């Protein structure tokens, strides 16, 4: 239970956990998670818990089923640097008396983990931190399948730029690439997604054009990415950026691999839309018109749908 409380505190952006009796097993688990998933979180032993509460400069909040209703609490209190207390089976009466606030997350028996998670979710205004710059791995949001990215297999912006130069990307293509990167930065800031993936995807989206300027340049680029041993999630961003994406039927008509190459993840959609709109609204409208006039009505429709997707989010 102590480990789960610590993991929950870390996941909801607390920076440390005080416990009266330090447990090396808890500390080992937390250090391992932090090492792989990033961020700063530490376990601190503090036997003198009364001294901790007395010395705390911010607000002290005790989570208990006997406290003030959480809905009313967050409707009337603005917390400053809170120390959040969750207890075990028997909580000393002094905790109730010394705390600034006793808050009830419901009035039914439940676990400390549940109480802490709900309280932190409210405190963070229902926003969960997802990006840790020093993370080595990350679980990616996904509706229907497991997605995980290994950041050791995602090149940095400098590595991407060097690779583009190495592959012979000409000045015009590099200028376009940097314009797409700039647009992708804005979209990621406004709509979320993994920043490292968006940067690498934007930088490498047209790497296939160093070999082919045809509709196969996404497939060619994805093949180059895979040959470098980079993460498959990056390869798919490159593969699915062309137009509004390419359906399986359209791919077969063009002699491409027989599979759907339509952007699905937020990172894929950001890079695809950034590529389409980096030149401004007028260029985007010309691009859609040209796509329709060449017989790819469905692709043009998907480009429009992608634009609407980012308008609504």
Domains of the chain: 2-123 (3.40.1280.10), 137-312 (1.10.3210)
Work out the average pLDDT over 268-291: 92
For 38, phi then psi, to 5°, come to: 90, 180
**Do the beta carbons of residue 161 and residue 255 sit within 8 Å?**
no
Residue 83, SS3 per DSSP: strand
Residue 144: pLDDT over 70: yes
Q: Are strands 137-139 and 148-150 parallel, antiparallel or unpaired?
A: antiparallel
Residue 139: pLDDT over 90: no
Predicted local confidence at residue 231, as pLDDT? 95
Least confident of 34-38, 69-73, 106-110, 236-240: 106-110
Q: What is the DSSP letter of 19?
A: E
**Other CB atoms within 10 Å distance of the CB of residue 306:** 21
Q: Which helix (H) or strand (E) holds 26?
A: helix 24-37
Q: What is the DSSP letter of 23?
A: -
Work out the average pLDDT over 200-204: 98
Work out the average pLDDT over 58-69: 94
What b/e readout covers 83-92, taking b as 16+ CB neighbours within 10 angstroms?
Answer: bbbbeeeeee
Phi-psi region of 151 (alpha: psi -120 to 50; beta: other; left: phi over 0): alpha
The span from the CA of 306 to the CA of 270, in Å, is: 9
Predicted local confidence at residue 52, as pLDDT? 96
What b/e readout covers 115-127, taking b as 16+ CB neighbours within 10 angstroms?
Answer: bbbbbbeebeeee
Predicted local confidence at residue 260, as pLDDT? 95
pLDDT tens digit string along 221-253? 999 999 999 999 999 999 999 999 999 999 999
Residue 130: pLDDT over 80: no
SS3 content of the chain, % helix, strand, coil (to 5): 55, 10, 35
Terminal Cα distance for the chain, rounded: 38
Residue 129: pLDDT over 80: no
Band the pLDDT of 313: cuts 50, 70, 90.
Answer: low
Percentage with pLDDT > 90 across the chain: 73
Predicted local confidence at residue 294, as pLDDT? 83
Residue 257: pLDDT over 90: yes
pLDDT tens digit string along 155-178? 999 999 999 999 999 999 999 999
């Amino acid at each position: 239970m102590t480990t789960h409380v610590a993991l929950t505190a870390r996941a909801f952006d607390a920076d440390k956990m005080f416990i009266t009796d330090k447990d090396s097993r808890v500390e080992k688990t937390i250090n391992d998670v932090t090492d792989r998933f990033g961020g700063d979180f530490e376990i601190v032993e503090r036997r003198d818990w009364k001294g901790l509460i007395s010395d705390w400069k911010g607000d002290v909040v005790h989570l208990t089923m006997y406290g003030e209703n959480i809905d009313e609490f967050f409707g009337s209190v603005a917390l400053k640097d809170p120390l959040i207390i969750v207890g075990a089976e028997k909580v000393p009466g002094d905790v109730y008396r010394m705390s600034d606030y006793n808050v009830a997350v419901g009035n039914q028996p439940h676990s400390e983990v549940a109480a802490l998670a709900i309280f932190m979710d409210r405190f963070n205004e229902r926003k969960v931190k997802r990006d840790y710059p020093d993370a080595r791995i990350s679980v990616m949001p996904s509706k229907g399948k497991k997605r995980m990215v290994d950041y050791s297999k995602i090149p940095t912006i400098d590595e991407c730029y060097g690779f583009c130069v190495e592959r012979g990307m000409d000045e015009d293509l590099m200028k376009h690439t940097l314009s797409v990167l700039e647009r992708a930065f804005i979209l990621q800031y406004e709509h979320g997604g993994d920043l490292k993936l968006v940067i690498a995807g934007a930088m490498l989206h047209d790497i296939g054009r160093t070999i082919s300027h045809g509709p196969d340049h996404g497939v060619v680029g994805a093949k180059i990415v895979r040959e470098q041993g980079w993460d498959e999630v990056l390869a798919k961003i490159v593969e699915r950026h062309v137009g509004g994406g390419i359906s399986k039927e359209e791919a077969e008509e063009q002699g491409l691999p027989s599979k759907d190459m339509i952007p699905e993840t937020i990172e894929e959609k950001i890079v695809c839309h950034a590529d389409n709109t980096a030149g401004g609204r007028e260029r985007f409208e010309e691009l859609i018109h040209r796509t329709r006039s060449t017989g790819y009505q469905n692709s043009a429709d998907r480009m429009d749908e992608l634009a609407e997707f980012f308008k609504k989010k």
